[in-house]
Amino acid sequence: MTRVRYLGVIPQTGHREYGFNVEGEDKSVRQIILTIDDLVFSEKQLKFQEAPDLCYQKMKCDLESEGAIGPITSPVTVTPSDVAKYRDAHPDAKARHKRQQ
């Protein structure tokens, strides 16, 4: 069983980094960083408080397919397609997002 621990967010110039420790079944630990471009937030495609969950969901999906595609290489860039998939999978967040625009 893989265990995931959220480490936090580190604002950088032009993007934000979201860090996770992933512990494998063999107890080895690796750090995975996901990055989200600041434009995603400034263009209101995503709220700051939604980003950790989006990153977790993306990483969880990537970990599940890791055997077929090879190991995850960090940093992982969150794409507009990832944001769209997150919105589709979370209709309540999608509705709130549209109301606030």
Residue 5 carries which DSSP code? E
Burial class (CB in 10 A: 0-12, 13-18, 19+), 39: exposed
Task: Say whether pLDDT at 99 is over 70.
Answer: no
Task: Say whether pLDDT at 81 is over 80.
Answer: yes
CA 77 to chain centre: 8
Measured distance CA(1)–CA(18) in Å, rounded:
22
pTM for this model (two decimals): 0.84
Among 10, 8, 6, which residue's Cα sits nearest to residue 38?
10
pLDDT for 11: 96
Q: What is the pLDDT of residues 28-71, one digit of tens each?
A: 999 999 999 999 999 989 999 999 999 999 999 999 888 777 78
